[in-house]
Structure 1
Amino acid sequence: MKNILLIALCLLMTVAVYGQYDLVIVGGTPGGIMAGIAAAKQGKTSVILERTNHIGGLPANGLGATDIATRGATTGLFAEFISRVKKHYVTTYGENSKQVKDCSEGFHFEPSVGESVLEQMLAEQKNITVLKMRQFDVLEKNITLYDDVIQSIRVLNRENGKTEEYKGKVFLDATYEGDLGAAAKIPFRLGREGKDEFGETGAGVVYKYWGGPEGEGTTFQGDNAVQSYNYRLCLTNNPANRVEIQKPLKYNREEYVSLIEDVWTGRHTGVQMLNVTEAMLEENRKHIAKGNPSKIPGDVWGIARLTNMVTLPNEKTDGNNQHMAFISTDLPEENWPWPTSGWAWRDAYAQRLRSYIEGLFWFAQNDKALPENFRKAAKEWGFAKDEYKDNGNFPRQVYVREGRRFEGEYFFTTKDATPTTPGQRPVVHPASITASHYAFDSHAVRKREPNRPHLDGFLSYPSQVYTVPYGVMVPKTVDNLLLPVPVSGSHIGFSTLRMEPCWMAIGQAAGIASALAIDSHVKVRNVDMKALQNKLLEQNATLIYYRDLQPADPDFKMAQTLGLLGYLPGWEAKLNEPVDQPTLALWEKLSNRKLAAEPGKTLRKEVLQNLFKNL
C-alpha cells in the first residue's frame, strides 16, 4: 500500500492537474456527448476528452443513415439530435426542398451536419468542457485507483506532447474500444461466444447467405474472432462536388483480383444464389460482354458492387460495406488486434484500411480486366469534395463495430431482444433506461475462403423492440465508473446495442446516473432506479415502447412507469379504450387491490391514473 501511495505522490509531483470535474468522460462519441449534456442539465460539470480533432464519433464520420429499426423506440436526447438535423435542412434549404426529403425526418444527414449539430448541442451547455487531441492509453500509470474508486486519470495532449491529469467524481468510458474500463481492470470479453454458452441464435462460427439460411461450415463454436471494421464513406455522383479517387501509394492489385470473376459472372453472397446455376453464371458472362449490366438476381452493378449506399441530402450517400459482396470495404481478420492494441498499432491499421479501400475503388474504376461498362459505371462516383476537407475528403475515424465488451451487473444476450412468444415483447426489464431496436447484426470475421459461398460471421437475425437495463453499463467493481459505450453483452447481444441511437440513450442515462450518484453520495451501482427513470422521463426518454404513445402525450410518464411494472404488456397502451374484464383482473392482481372500474365503460387511462397516483 505504501508503494502505491508513493507512486501516486511521485506522479502528482510530475504531472500537472488540469481540472476537477464532476464527470470525466473519455471519448467524444455520441454516447459520451449525451452523457455530458444530460449531466449538465442536472447542474454537473463534465470534461470530454476526445483523442481526435473532431467530436461526434461515427455520425460525424459517415454514418449518416441512422441505424434504428423502429423509429420512436428511442427518444430523449437522440430524438432532439434528429429534430435538430431536420431543422437544419428546413432552415437552410426550405421545408419543401429535396434536402429535407432526403434527410428522412432528420434520420439521414451529411457527416458535417452531424458534427455541427452535436457541436451546437454541446455549446449550449456551459458546464461542459470539450478537450480534443487528448489520448488515453491503457497503462497502469494513467489511472489512480484507490479502494475501488478512480481518483484521477492521465492523458497525452497530442498537440504539445505533455501529460495532463484530470480528477473527477465519476468517470465514464465512452470509447468504442473500452480503454478506460480496461485500465480499471474491469473483466471483458473479445471474440464470439459459442451457442453452448447462452443458447443464442447466430452465436459462434456461422456461414450464412445474406437474407437466407445458415450453410455448410456452421458449427456455432466460439472463438477469438472480431467482426470486421471499415470506413463509412461519403460518396457522390455530382460532378460539381466529386473528387476522383486516386490510386494509393501501397496499391496491391492481387488483393482485388477475385472481384473480376464476381463481376463477370454475377456471383454474390445473397440468398438468391440458392437458385442460380453455373450455367446461369456463364450465360451472364456473355450477356455482360455485350455491354449489358449483370442479370443475376440480387446482383448489383458499378460502385454498388463495392459499397451499400443510402441516400443523404445534397446528392451524397452513406457508403457502408456491401452485404452481398465477397470483398468490399470491410477488411476482416486484420482488425482482430484493434480492441486491445495501443494507438500506434491502431493508427497503422487505420492507414492500411484506408489504403485498402482506396485501392479497391481505384481497381473497380480502372482495371481493364473488368468489363468496360462496369468500370464506367463505377467511375461516376467519388468522394464528396465538401466533406472531411482536412483529411483528403476521407473519413477520419474507423468504424469500430465492436471492441471490448465488459462483464457488468447485467449481461445482455439475444434473449433480451427476442420475444418468448411470437408477436409479443421480449422480457421487460423493470430497471430499463431506454427502449431500442435493431437486428442482431454482425459483419464478417474472416476474409473470403476457397469454395465457401458466404463469409464467416456475416449475419443478420430479427429482433424486436426491447428494453435496456441499467446494469449493462455498470461494472461489478469500481464504484465510480460507468461504461455507456463498451457495454456488457455477448457478441450477438452487443450487436444490437451497438447502434448510435442506443448508445446516445445509454449515454444520457449515464449522465443522469452520475449526477444522482454524486448528489446521493452512493456508488453508481446503488443509484436509486426510480429517481433515475423519473429524470430520464423528464428528459423525454422512452423506457418502454408503445406504438400509440409519444413523450409529448400527457399520460406518457404514467404509461412508462406502469408499463415497466407489467400493467401494459401489449404493444399499444390503448388508453382511450374501455378496460375489459381480463385486463382489470390483471391490474387488480398486480396492485393487490380492488379497483373501482366498470368493464366495458371505464376508460383504461382512468383506472391507470388512479393506480399511478397511489404508487
Structure 2
Amino acid sequence: MHKTFLPAVLLLISVVASHGLAQTLPEPAVEGLRYYYPPEKVEPREIEADICVYGGTSGGVVAAIQARRMGKSAVLLSFGKHVGGLTTGGLSHTDGGGADVCGGIAREFYNQIGQSHFKPSDAEDVYKKMLAEAGVEVHYLAHLDKVTKQGTQITSISMENGLVVKAKQFIDATYEGDLLARAGVSYAVGREANNVYDETYDGIRQPGTGGHNFPKAIDPYVKPGDPSSGLLPRIVADGGVPGEGDKAIQAYCFRMRLVKGEDRLPFPKPNVYDTQQYEVLARLFESGADPRMGWSIDTNNHHLFNGAYFIDFVGGNTDWPEGDWKTREQIYQDHANYQIGVMYYLTHSPRIPSEWREKFAAFGLPTDEYRDTSGWTHELYIREGRRMLSDYVMTQENCQGYEVPEDSIGLASYNMDSHHCQMVAVDGAIRNEGNVEIRVSPYPIAYRAITPKSSECTNLLVPVALSSSHIAFGSIRMEPVFMILGQSAATAASQAIDDKVNVQNVQYDQLAKRLLEDGQIIQYKGASGVPVSLAKLKGIGVDDRDAKLTGEWEESNHIRPFVGRGYRHDKNEAKGECTATFTTKLKPGEYEVRLAYSANGNRASNLPVTIKYVGGEQKVIVNQREKPSVDEIFVSLGNFRFDKQGEVVVSNEGTNGHVIIDAVVFVPVE
C-alpha cells in the first residue's frame, strides 16, 4: 500500500537539506567510491509488510528469504547499492561455516558458489536470484531516519528518501545495530573490562602480547628518538590498564581483491595521500625485518609483516559505531585513502626496496569486479559495531563451552578473535594492542541473545549485532553465522506473528522443530571435548585461575578436555622460573590428590610436583605426554593426610617440554 503524506513545503526542505549535505561530504578516495549517497530527492511513500528487514548484509538477505518461505510478506532495506555485505564486497572465501556446523539457506548459498575462490559479483548474483525467487521486495539506498514506536512495539521506520515501512515484526541485520539503537534498545560499544562478565580475553590487553606483533623495535616518534617531535599517526602514549574496558574496537579494513597478469588495474593514487601514514611501513623495511608477503586474491592484514602494520587502519574507527551518516562517510574515506595509499606507496615510494616494489607491482585491481568504484570494493569490513545488551549475553563462557544455553538457534565455530585495537608507544617502540586468537570448538548461540529486553522492544530481532561481549562477538562475527542467525530470526518473527506473541515469548520447542526441518544445525554432533566444570567435580578443586603464579604462564584451550575455561603453559621457556601453587582450606583428614592436564607429545615427561602435607613434603614426577588415567583428565598423585590446608606446587625446573597447569583436586578418602 502506498500513499503520500508529507506536505510540499516539508518535501522542499528535505530536498534542499540533502543537497546541502552532499556538498559537505569529503571527496571520494577514488572515483565512485562512497559509503553514503544522500537522497537526490524525497518521495513520500508508505509500504506495509509482515516483516521488515533493515540491513542488506548476508544475514539480512537470508532473513528476508526465510520470511517469504514462512509465508510472510517481506521487505529488505539495504543502506548501499548492493546486497550481501562483506560476502559480496570483498571476500572470496569464508572462515568457518563448514557443512558440520552450517546448514539451511546458508548451505544452499554456499553449495552454489562454494566456500573458497568465489567472485564477489557471482555471490551477489546468487543472492539476488534467491531474493527474486522468494519474492522479496528490495529497496536500496535506504538510510534510516526515524523509528516510530507504540509502547514496546515498533510500528514503522522511516528512511531519509521518504520511504516509510510499517510491519508487524522488524529485524535489524546491520553490522552496526543501527535500528536497535534508534528503537531505544540497550547496547554496548567497545571492550568490557574483564570483570564485567568474568572473562580473561575481553578488556585491554598487555601491549605487545597476542599475535601479529612488530618483529623489531620500530620508533614511534615523528623524528626518531625525539619524543618532543610527537607520535606518528594513530599511535597513542597510553593504552590504558590491561583488563579494564574502553571504547576501542578491533580495526577495520577493505578486503581488497588483488589480481596478477596484464588484465589488471595499477594501484591508483588516492585523493588524499599522506606519506606520514606509511612511515611505519618504511621503517619496517629499513629495519631489515622479513616482510613475509603473502598476498593473494583475497588479501588480509596479516599478509604483510605478519600483520604488524599493513591494511588495518588501527585506531581510526572508534567513532564509527555511533556516528551519523556524515561522520561515517568521513571515516570511510579516511580508511579508503589510507589503504589505497598503502598499495600506491608500496609500489612507488623510493623508501621501499626496488625488488619489493617490483613484487608488489605485479599485483593490481580487477577489471571485472567493482567497476563502479574503480576496481576497489565498496564494502568496508565492519568487524565490530554496537552490540545489543539483552537478558542473555554471549560471553567467553559460551565460546569455551563452559556455559551452554538450552535455546540454541545455530552454531558458531570460529576462534575468539580480535584484530588490533590500538598502537601504543612503549619504551620508545611501537607495540600493538588488542589482538586475540583463541581456538574454540563449535558452540550454540542462544535465541535470547538475538531478542531485546522485553521492557525495551517486543517485535525486534537482532541476528548480527546480537547481545554479546567484545570477545564473544569476535568469535561469532563470521558471515556464515550471520546467515544462520538471520534465518533463525525470520523463523522466530514469523512464529511470533502466527501466535500473536512478543518475540521473547516464542515457543522454543516449536522454533527448534521448524529450524531442524529447514536444515539448520543447532547442536554440534562432532567430538567437542566439553570442558569439565570445577563445581561438578568430586572433592575440593583449585583451578589454575586461582593458583598463585610466578613467572610467565600463557593461557590456552587448544587441547581438550580441560577443567574450567582452559589451562596455562610455560611456553616451554624460562625453565626454573615458573611455579604454580594450588592452595585450599580443608577439613583435617586423608585426601587423594589429583592433577589435571591435557596430554600431548610436546608436554614435559618429567614434571616435578610437590605435595605439602602433615608429614612434610613429597615430590612426584608426572609424565604429561601420557593420557591421564582418571576420567581421561586427572592423574592421581597419591593419598596424603592434611590438617587445615592442602598445598601442591608445580614447577618447570629442569623440564623437557611444555608444562601444563590446569587444576588440582583434593578428594576425601572414605
TM-score (norm 1): 0.72
> Is residue 497 of structure 1 aligned with residue 476 of structure 2?
yes
2:213/2:308 contact within 8 Å kept: no
Q: Which runs of 5+ in 1 are unaligned?
A: 1-7, 87-105, 158-162, 268-293, 311-315, 421-426, 550-569, 572-581, 583-615
Q: Which moved more, 1:204-213 or 1:113-122?
A: 204-213
Please say if 1:432 is aligned against 2:401. no
* 1:548 to 1:411, Cα distance in 2 relative to 1, 3 A: closer
CA distance in 1, matches of 2:160, 2:240: 46
1:463-478 aligned within 5 A: 463-476=440-453, 477-478=456-457
Cα deviation, 1:316-374, whole Å, max 9, x if unaligned, reads 33445548233211112221011111111111211121111111111111111121111
* Deviation (angstroms), 1:264: 3.4
Give the equivalent residue in structure 2 for 1:357: 339
- Equivalent in 291, 298, 309 of residue 317 of structure 1: 298
Residue 249 of structure 1 and its aligned partner are, at CA, apart by 2.7
Alignment length (residue pairs): 467
* Structure 1 residue 521, shift from structure 2 partner: 0.3
Which residue is equivalent to 2:395?
413
Output the CA distance in 1 between the equivalents of 2:79 and 2:274. Answer: 31
> SS state of the match for residue 340, structure 1?
coil
Which residue does the alignment assign to 1:132? Answer: 140
Matched, 1:479 2:458: yes
Q: By how many angstroms is 1:72 displaced?
A: 2.0
Match of 2:614 in 1: none
**8 Å CA contact 1:23, 1:46 repeated in 2:** yes
Q: Secondary structure at the match of 1:332?
A: coil
Q: Equivalent residues in 2 for 1:87-166 (5 A)?
A: 106-126=115-135, 128-137=136-145, 142-157=146-161, 163-166=162-165
Change (3 A) 1:218 1:67: farther
2:464 & 2:429 partners in 1: Cα distance?
Answer: 34
Match of 1:329 among 311, 323, 326: 311
Equivalent positions of 1:46-445 (< 5 A) are 46-68=74-96, 71-86=99-114, 106-126=115-135, 128-137=136-145, 142-157=146-161, 163-206=162-205, 207-211=207-211, 219-240=242-263, 242-267=264-289, 294=290, 299-301=291-293, 304=294, 309=295, 316-320=297-301, 322=303, 324-420=306-402, 427-445=403-421
Residues 449 and 384 of structure 1: CA distance in aligned 2, closer, same or farther (over 3 Å): farther
Cα-to-partner distance string for 1:358-395 (whole Å, 9 max, x where unaligned): 11111111111121111111111111111100111111
Judged with a 3 Å threshold, the aligned counterparts in structure 2 of structure 1 residues 478 and 115 are, in CA distance, closer, same or farther, namely: same
Deviation at 1:69? 6.9
Query: Would you say the 8 A contact 1:210–1:324 is kept in 2?
Result: no
Query: Which residue, 423, 436, 446 being the options, matches 2:422?
Result: 446
2:510 is aligned, of 531, 541, 565, to: 531
Check the 8 A contact 1:17/1:167 in 2, yes or no.
Answer: no
- What is the alpha-carbon distance in structure 2 between the residues aligned to residue 325 and residue 144 of structure 1? 44
Structure 2 CA distance, aligned partners of 1:155 and 1:317? 34
The 1:523–1:69 alpha-carbon spacing in structure 2 relative to 1, beyond 3 Å, is: closer
Secondary structure at the counterpart of residue 72 of structure 1: coil
**1:465 positional shift:** 0.8
Greater relative contact order (CA < 8 Å, ≥ 6 in sequence): 1
- The 5 A counterparts of 1:7-18 are 16-18=44-46
Alpha carbons 1:233, 1:320 under 8 Å: kept: no
Partner of 2:29: none
Report the 3-state secondary structure (helix = DSSP H, G, I; strand = E; otherwise coil) of the residue aligned with 2:422.
coil
The higher radius of gyration belongs to: 2
Q: Could you say which residue in structure 2 is the equivalent of 1:564?
A: none
* Displacement after TM superposition at 1:452 (Å): 4.6
> In the aligned structure 2, how far is the partner of 1:439 from the partner of 1:429?
19
Amino acid at match of 2:287: T
Q: Within 5 Å, give how 1:549-568 maps onto structure 2.
A: none
The 1:452/1:44 distance shift into structure 2, 3 A limit, reads farther
Q: Is the 1:19–1:167 Cα contact (8 Å) retained in structure 2?
A: yes
Identity of aligned residues (%): 31
User: What does the per-residue CA deviation read over 1:124-148, in whole Å, with 9 as the maximum and x for residues that have no partner?
Assistant: 102x1011111113xxxx1110121
In terms of fraction of residues, the more strand-rich structure is: 2
Residues 132-175 of structure 1: CA distance to partner in whole angstroms, max 9, x if unpaired?
A: 111113xxxx1110121111110023xxxxx1211000011111
Equivalent in 69, 83, 104 of residue 41 of structure 1 = 69
Deviations 1:528-576 (A, max 9, x none): 1111111111110000111399xxxxxxxxxxxxxxxxxxxx99xxxxx
**Structure 2 residues without counterparts, runs of 5 or longer:** 12-42, 216-238, 529-559, 562-630, 632-670
Q: Give the Cα separation in 2 of the matches to 1:399 and 1:539.
A: 30
AA in 2 matched with 1:508: Q
Normalised by the size of structure 2, how large is the TM-score?
Answer: 0.66
Rounded Cα–Cα distance in structure 2 between residues aligned with 1:122 and 1:56: 11
Give 3-state SS (helix, strand or coil) of 2:515's partner. helix
The equivalent of 2:232 in structure 1 is none
RMSD, matched Cα: 2.7
Q: CA–CA distance in 2 between the matches of 1:408 and 1:48?
A: 24
Q: Tell me the alpha carbon deviations over residues 383-430 of structure 1, each in whole angstroms, 9 at most, x when there is no partner.
A: 11111001111111211111110101310001001044xxxxxx4322
Deviation at 1:449, TM superposition (A): 3.1
Q: Which moved more, 1:191-200 or 1:531-540?
A: 191-200
